[in-house]
Structure 1
Amino acid sequence: MALAPPPTTSDARKPGTGPGPDEPATPGRLARLVRRPLSFQTLLVGGAVIIVGYLALVPLGYLFHDTFLSGNGGVSFGAFSRAYGGNSQSGTMLLNSMWFAVGSAALALILGTVLAYVQVRTDTPFKGLFFAASLVPLIVPGILYATSWIFLGDPSSGILNSLVFKPLFGATPINIYSLWGMIWVQGLHLAPVAFLLMVAAFRAMDPSLEESAAMSGAGRGIILWRITLPLLRPAMVSSALLMFVQSLESFEVPGLLGLQNGIYVFTSRIYFVLRAYPVDYGSAGAYAIGLLVIAAAGVLLSSWLQRSSRNYQTVTGKAFRPRPVELGRARPFVGGAVILYFLFTVLLPVAVLVYASLLKFYAAPSRKALSTMTLDNYRQVLHMPLAFTALKNSLLLGVGAATLVMVLTAVVSWVVLRTRARGRRLLDMLAFTPIVIPGLVLGLALSFVYLRVPLPIYGTLLILLIAYCTRYLPYGMRYSSAAMAQMSPELEESAAVSGASWFQTFRRILLPLMSSGILAGWVYILVVSFRELSSTILLYSPGKEVLSVLIWEQFENGQFTTLAALGVCMVLILMLLVSIAYRFGARFGLQSDSTN
């Protein structure tokens, strides 16, 4: 792979550039030719390319191989017959999966878009709540968020049913163990992501068209429906399909809520098949391929729909400042709606988790329950040897995955954006391939690889590190590519003219200037790796648990109050890690600015 532009005609016969076609190679020239391909730059870049190709392609290759090939080596569709035929109820599972993904994406998009409009375009009060409402659900893992809504919406002991609906209406209408309950929890958990995406779209959109329509006499409803929403269509489509794929690959919410009532989606069906005896790896692979095809189709559809995004561009070279819409008499009602949203997405789930962690046995709030509050669950967590092991494993994997991914993607983004190497677009595509691989599918694919390859890493932390690096490679690539694209190649050219080697330029110039983007990607990957469950649940072994797996085991054992205490500790640790990382990043940024 050529990593630099081809030499020009004037460079072809400079001294020391190599022998001509009819010129014999002297020993000195031979030594230079041998050493040149083995330079540090070539080895580093070549190693990064090999690692990306291995992470992206090998697990999928083994997944397809073991699913489609029979024991005698021929192609067989027996696994698909067992998975989707007979009494497998695959049609119901497929409908549940689609309803769950579409419903969750729609709820998240509606909430996120409305909140983004209110926050950016109106003079609503309590704007400070939007930051907490967007940050806290991102830090709280999905397994804890689903558990908190079990405490809130359980038909028999849920707080909302016991303290609100039953005293007022004499009925308990909320059943969190239904498909609609799954959609509600998943949609609320994803709404902050949609909110952050739509806030960026609203802030980048020039409101002059809306102001012109208002001056022409159009009402707010017409302006919103005929101008604002059409201009936001690319961002809304992209956000909706991202929410769809994330809901489709979600395991925590279907695992905790759906399995309680026999409601299966793709991810929970794969988990159920792999926990049955005897294990049918072929059927699990068939389900995984079906889920992979749907997720890939969603990503490809998103890319196809984004082709016409230039037709909706309103940000040009002219400066603009959006004027907030005055809500007038509606301002108190909008402020009340903001508080209500904050109550349901942040305050109630976190508060009920803390409340449950202080009880010996979970019960709805009452005078008797409040009198039995104790810190015994936290003492039990502190004296639980497995808790410290899981915390250590989570820290090692989170820091390790974040560091490796950001270093790897920094090198790969340089190859893609700074060279004319053949195949660099293919390399870019390979780096983004894992984004269509759901976590549970990735865990199954890696188990297919390392149960057959003679490497003793199955059930170790190393295979979990490989899973995390593969899963979050596309996200690291987005952060690194965005940071690399902002820098002019003139900086590298000036360093080369001054005699700096490639590694010196990369370490002393590119990495410091990319530090803000790399730090943001590092923090994001640390947080999501720390709370990752779907790809971990199929790969861990006893003694190699992480915190998310330990919480899942507490749920399966019915230890809900211990689970709550462990979850509160996990959220506090995540918030501490994020604050330390950003404080360190701010100090590092100030120091680098002062030295430049």
Structure 2
Amino acid sequence: LSTIAWILLLSPKIGLINLAIKGILGLESAPFNIYTMGGMVWAEAIHLYPLVFLLMSAAFRNMDTSLEEASLSAGSSTFETFRRITLPLMRPAMFSALLIMFVRGMEAFEVPALVGVPARISVFTTKIFLAIHQFPSDFGLAGAYAVTLLVISTVGVLVYQKVTRREEKYATVTGKGYRPRVIDLGNWKYVTCASAFAIFFLAVVLPVFILLWSSFIPYYGVPSWELVGKLTLANYQYILSYPLALTAFKNSFYLSVGSATLVMLLTSVIAWITVKSKMPGRIFLDNMAFIPIAMPGIVLGVSLIWVYLTLPIPIYGTIWVLLLAYMTKFMPYGIRAASASMIQINKELEEASLASGGTWFQTFKKVILPLLMPGFVAGWIYISIISLRELSTSILLYSYSSTVLSIMAFDLWEGGQYTYVTALGVLMVLLLVAMAYVARQLGAKIGIAE
């Protein structure tokens, strides 16, 4: 949806920003062009920045501010403290985020498919897709591209794991002496505030506005009083009456809820084994749960095609193969969310339950899981969101009966039905908001009240 929004904003022919600038300045050619390598980088960066924010905000939140206070007390300015103290301490987290973005960028499919293919810019993921969807399909060529992409992604993940193991040297959460504090930025607060609003405007306001606007007009065009008078719900009526709409909504909902729930339950048990137990092989188990992050979604799709077309297991083309693919693909995100929360649970609580006669299952259900609930819900919401808009794996594994919303949106876009796609996108956003709200409410009831 983010990619589609930026195409509608920066396309040289129909882009809202380009049309507005051309009209204001009287230019003959569009100042921006999304169908370039720079445009692809921009669209992918806007798409991935929330994940970088989550990774970096956790590191900043856990940093002991006494180090910055000491620098400020010694006469250093806020900028000097940030440059000499904060940035060096954040370097491992920044490098880790960079490596994760490298792996995510290598496996990206939506931006290359929607922007790169029309611009004749090829990447591994689109080459794999085109090799399989050409006639006749060339699975050998697709496999060669897939293995090469997998090797590159694996190298990135191995470097990431090596870097994160070294981060203990930079630990700054020091027990009772640790207390997070808000720092006065002085005049820099205006710069940071303006930057935050600019990012929010570019990443949220503009894309949401163009999706909403396009979903209510009969044909795509620049906002004008003429089009305001033609606002209609016809696009939503078309989507709701679309032959596959109900099937796609049901499949996406079941897959989103099912994959998020199963992944978080499974990774919660794995996190307990790796963090709390002394079971042999627990480190290997943790690594195995994280390995799928090295496998790009489209490579996973190719692998499952080979497996289930070869083995006599009749799930290819069904919703079950998609559920298996989603669980495999999103396992690393679940294990990181569950492990981070599990580390914060004192082992004494578990020991007290066992000493009172509770079984391990009762202890896990009544003690561990409620305490784990904030992290569980956060991981559940994130996985449900990325499951609902997953495309790179689904596009190789779906059939008519297992169509999902992302496939429906992709097909509508390829058919040039832009306003229908935006209406579908708005409905998907509303569904995600409703699911996240329900998840938080259930998490608050099941978990431990603060």
Shift of 1:246: 1.1
For residue 373 of structure 1, what is the aligned residue in structure 2? Answer: 231
Shift of 1:215: 4.3
For residue 111 of structure 2, what is the aligned residue in structure 1? Answer: 253
Q: Compute the TM-score of the two structures, normalised by the length of structure 1.
A: 0.71
- CA–CA separation in structure 2 for the residues paired with 1:246 and 1:430: 19
Q: 1:157 aligns with which of 8, 14, 36?
A: 14
Q: Does 1:148 align with 2:14?
A: no
For residue 459 of structure 1, what is the aligned residue in structure 2? Answer: 317
The structure with the larger Rg is 1
For residue 392 of structure 2, what is the aligned residue in structure 1? Answer: 534
Query: Is the CA contact 1:432–1:477 (under 8 Å) kept in the aligned structure 2?
Result: yes
- CA–CA separation in structure 2 for the residues paired with 1:233 and 1:483: 23
Q: Does 1:176 align with 2:73?
A: no
Query: Is the CA contact 1:177–1:258 (under 8 Å) kept in the aligned structure 2?
Result: yes
Note the alpha carbon deviations across 1:189-224, whole angstroms, 9 max, x for none.
212221222222222223344444444444444433
- CA–CA separation in structure 2 for the residues paired with 1:383 and 1:455: 34
Q: Which has the higher contact order (CA 8 A, sep 6+)?
A: 1
Moved more, 260-269 or 164-173: 164-173
- CA–CA separation in structure 1 for the residues paired with 2:335 and 2:53: 22
- CA–CA separation in structure 2 for the residues paired with 1:321 and 1:499: 39
Q: Does 1:285 align with 2:140?
A: no
Q: Does 1:504 align with 2:369?
A: no
- CA–CA separation in structure 2 for the residues paired with 1:326 and 1:239: 25
Q: Unaligned regions of 5+ residues in structure 1, if any?
A: 1-143
Q: 1:487 aligns with which of 342, 345, 348?
A: 345
Q: 1:387 to 1:199 in 2, by over 3 A?
A: same
- CA–CA separation in structure 2 for the residues paired with 1:495 and 1:345: 47
Q: 1:379 to 1:493 in 2, by over 3 A?
A: same
For residue 408 of structure 2, what is the aligned residue in structure 1? Answer: 550
Shift of 1:361: 1.8
Shift of 1:436: 0.9
Q: Does 1:342 align with 2:200?
A: yes
Aligned residue identity for 1:250: A
Q: 2:126 aligns with which of 250, 268, 271?
A: 268
Aligned residue identity for 2:439: A
Identity of aligned residues (%): 45
Aligned residue identity for 1:472: F
SS state at 1:260 partner:
coil
Aligned residue identity for 2:374: S
Aligned residue identity for 1:432: F
Moved more, 533-542 or 396-405: 396-405
RMSD: 2.1
Q: 1:403 aligns with which of 235, 238, 261?
A: 261
Note the alpha carbon deviations across 1:520-545, whole angstroms, 9 max, x for none.
22222222111111111100001211
> Which runs of structure 2 are paired with 1:100-139 in the superposition (5 Å)?
none
- CA–CA separation in structure 2 for the residues paired with 1:484 and 1:337: 35
Aligned residue identity for 1:485: I
Moved more, 145-154 or 213-222: 213-222
Q: Compute the TM-score of the two structures, normalised by the length of structure 2.
A: 0.93
Q: Unaligned regions of 5+ residues in structure 2, if any?
A: none
For residue 576 of structure 1, what is the aligned residue in structure 2? Answer: 434
Q: 2:183 aligns with which of 314, 324, 330?
A: 324
Shift of 1:451: 0.6
Query: Is the CA contact 1:166–1:172 (under 8 Å) kept in the aligned structure 2?
Result: no
Q: 1:335 to 1:256 in 2, by over 3 A?
A: same
For residue 429 of structure 1, what is the aligned residue in structure 2? Answer: 287
Note the alpha carbon deviations across 1:362-409, whole angstroms, 9 max, x for none.
122234333332111011112223111111001111111122212222
- How many residues are treated as equivalent by the alignment? 448
